[in-house]
Amino acid sequence: MPCKVDSIINSSIALSWSRGALRGKAQVPASKSESNRALIIQALAAGGELHNLSDANDTRLMRRLLQEPTASAFDAEDAGTVMRFLTAYLAMTGRQTELTGTARMLERPIGILVDALRQLGARIDYQGQEGYPPLRLQGRTPQPATEEEADFTELTVRGDISSQYISALLMIGPTLPHGLRIWLTGKVGSRPYIRMTQALMQHFGASCRDLGEVLEVRPQAYQPTNYTVEGDWSAASYWYAMVALAPAGSSLTLPTLRRYSWQGDQAIVGIMEKLGVKTEFLADEAVRLTQTEPAATLTQDFTDCPDLAQTVAVVAAALGVPAEMTGLESLRIKETDRIAALQTELAKFGGSLTDEGNGVFRVSAADFRVAGQTVATYHDHRMAMAFAPLALRGPLAVEAPQVVRKSYPQFWAELEQAGFTTGPTPAPVY
Question: Binding residue per annotation — 352?
Answer: no
Question: Binding residue per annotation — 307?
Answer: yes
Per the annotation, the verdict on 210 as an active-site residue is: no
Question: Binding residue per annotation — 190?
Answer: yes
SS (H, E, C) the chain: CCCHHHHCCCCEEEEECCCCCCCCECCCCECHHHHHHHHHHHHHHCCCCEECCCCCHHHHHHHHHHCCCCCCEEECCCCHHHHHHHHHHHHHCCCEEEEECCCCHHHCCCHHHHHHHHHCCEEEEECCCCCCCCEEEEEECCCCCCCCCCCCEEEEEECCCCHHHHHHHHHHHHHCCCCEEEEEECCCCCHHHHHHHHHHHHHCCCCEEECCCEEEECCCCCCCCCEECCECHHHHHHHHHHHHHCCCCCEEEEECCCCCCCCHHHHHHHHHHCCCEEEEEECCCEEEEEECCCCCCEEEECCCCHHHHHHHHHHHHHHCCCEEEECCHHHHHCCCCHHHHHHHHHHCCCEEEEEEECCEEEEEECCCCCCCCEECCCCCHHHHHHHHHHHHCCCEEEECHHHHHHCCCCHHHHHHHHCCEEEECCCCCC
Question: Binding residue per annotation — 265?
Answer: no
Question: Binding residue per annotation — 23?
Answer: no
Question: Binding residue per annotation — 218?
Answer: no
Question: Binding residue per annotation — 127?
Answer: no
Instruction: Given the residues 58, 78, 265, 307, select the one marked as catalytic.
Output: 307
Question: Binding residue per annotation — 195?
Answer: no
> CA–CA separation, 30 vs 430, rounded Å?
35
Question: Binding residue per annotation — 48?
Answer: no
Question: Binding residue per annotation — 164?
Answer: yes
Question: Binding residue per annotation — 405?
Answer: no
Question: Binding residue per annotation — 19?
Answer: no
Q: Which residues are annotated as a binding site for phosphoenolpyruvate?
A: 32, 80, 108, 164, 338, 382, 406
Active site residues: 307
Residues tagged in the binding site annotation for 3-phosphoshikimate: 32-33, 37, 162-164, 190, 307, 334
Show binding-site residues.
Answer: 32-33, 37, 80, 108, 162-164, 190, 307, 334, 338, 382, 406
